Amino acid sequence: MKKQSDLSRLMGYAGNYRYFTYASWVLSAVSALVALVPFVYIWKILRDVLNAAPNYAQAVNIPHYGWRAVLFAVLAYLIYIAALMCSHLSAFRVATNLRLEVSEHLATLPLGFTETFGSGKLRKIIHESTGAAETFLAHQLPDKYNAMATPIGLLVLLLVFDWRLGLLSLVPVALGFVIMSAMTGRRMADKMRQYGNALESMSNEAVEYVRGIPVVKTFGQSVFSFKKFKATIDEYEKWVIAYTKELRMPMMLYTAAINGVFAFLIVGGLLFTRNGVTSEFLLNLLFYIIITPVISLTLTRMMYMSESKMVVADALARIDSVLEAAPMQVQAVPQHPKDSSVTLQDVHFSYDGKTEVIKGVSLEIRPGQTVAFVGPSGGGKSTLANLVCRFFDVQSGSVQVGGADVRDIPKEELMDTISFVFQNSRLLKGSILDNVRLGRPQATEAEVLAALKAAQCMDIIEKFPAGIHTVIGTKGVYLSGGEQQRIAIARAMLKNAPILILDEATAFADPDNEAKVQAAFARLAKGKTVLMIAHRLSTVANADCIYVVQDGRITETGTKDELCAQNGLFARMWQDYQASVQWKVAKEG
């Protein structure tokens, strides 16, 4: 089956608006031809001046020709504006439909896709890659047909007045075209793809670095944390400098060729006037000197159009990298949870399909039970919680909620069954009311206020004159990490799902906020099945069951007292925790 071209694909997104695109091509080409007419009137003005010299008063048609030149120049400009209006109507529709398709497909993907793909890369694709397609249709395609029509009109003009000078004018055009072809071939397409990859990596690392600034400042790791981000900047710098040096010589030759028309005309003028200069030849030579700059301008536009075609091809390939991601499987016969129990049976999981991070985990959490996952960083605690939420699908084994495999539960029902509060809960740029209502969009203001009160948030509400209608992120309205956590807890309370997942939810809260967050958790957890993930062992001491997760496996299970009695990893962690609690800052004598 023949592969669909990039342009045909874009026209598919335009729908009936594609006719505006076709109209823009015609209008742009007409505009290019009309724009050449003023040069004919300039030639007529020069002819009258030369014929009338030295009695210039006899050149009575100059104003008439001048106004006609102005008229056609304005007409060409208006036609070109009409072409751009048509192209933009279609381009905006294409960009909108591309963004809608990517966004709608994202809704079908596992929730963990953004984490593994990279939010910075995703943002760049949704905004910049679709924007590249819009720019291509709105500006570069009309300019392409404008640039294609211009040489045709120029060729006629160049050969009509003096075919010898016309052919001389085309020599640098041919040289420039050969050099341009060498710069814009398949190799250039590979370079553009590398350029896009370098920009994408730098953008992704920039987003992740900015998001991690609170952690960086907390642990004073500014120099080391910047290393990965700086590496992408250095790689981009290295690539750009090498690429610029590589194109330096071809670009110099190209620029010299397309701007060297005058040199060819001067040489031709000397050769063709060895037997004397006629007024007709002088007139034609002046005309060619005036019109040939259009050649260099047209060739330069064609070169950039070749580059833009590669840019849009690369943009569509990046969009496809999202659209080709496999959506979550949806069973023909859905299952429904019977209760709030959670069961994992011989679960194996890998992020990259090669290295397993969860290795044969089995466990059972009864309805209403509070369990905790503890263990060394990178052991797989958060991954287990993500599998319960179906942020990712297991490679083998099963994750069940209420006796139903999470892969067989409709995603809306699964999300209604599970609430989660993460260590870096993010709030949208909107009112506190709207942020809490995300938990249950149909909730009334009174219900939202009740959730905020239960989540210990009234001190936050009372410090703003607009109360729950305060818009976060504008006019200096910002919340601390602990305050954001309490708003996120209020959202979870409003949702009132039977299963609650808390992933390091107090990691960055100050002591005052932590006390309020813990009180809010106590209210939130009543009557629910709770999965807690924590490094701070004081938060899990009262859990009904503690699972010690190490290297993708559950190595120990039991209550705090039972685990301490086993003298295993948890016992050592508890002893270290107790020692850290007793640390004091020594005062200098």
pLDDT at 117 over 70: yes
Angle, nearest 10°, between helix axes 6-14 and 293-323?
70
Exposed / middle / buried, residue 451 (Cβ in 10 Å: 0-12, 13-18, 19+): buried
Compute the distance between CA of residue 390 and CA of residue 418 in angstroms, rounded to an integer: 10
Rg (CA), the chain: 35
Q: Across all residues in the chain, what is the average pLDDT?
A: 81
Residue 312 φ then ψ, to 5°: -70, -30
Please tell me the predicted confidence (pLDDT) of residue 93: 93
Task: Of 373, 349, 350, 347, give the one whose Cα is nearest residue 360.
Answer: 347
Compute the distance between CA of residue 414 and CA of residue 400 in angstroms, rounded to an integer: 11
Please tell me the predicted confidence (pLDDT) of residue 476: 61
Please tell me the predicted confidence (pLDDT) of residue 30: 95
Indicate the pTM of the whole model. Answer: 0.66
Compute the distance between CA of residue 253 and CA of residue 178 in angstroms, rounded to an integer: 11
pLDDT tens-digit series, residues 294-307: 776 776 676 666 66
The DSSP result for 189-249, as a single string, is HHHHHHHHHHHHHHHHHHHHHHHTHHHHHHHT-HHHHHHHHHHHHHHHHHHHHHHHHHHHH
Under the banding of pLDDT at 50, 70 and 90, the label for residue 225 is low
Where does residue 543 fall: left (phi above 0), alpha (psi -120 to 50 degrees), or beta otherwise?
beta
pLDDT tens-digit series, residues 160-203: 777 777 777 777 777 777 777 766 666 666 666 677 677 767 77
Three-state secondary structure of 97-147: HHHHHHHHHHCCCCCCHHHHHCHHHHHHHHHHHHHHHHHHHHHHHHHHHHH
Please tell me the predicted confidence (pLDDT) of residue 101: 92
pLDDT at 122 over 90: no
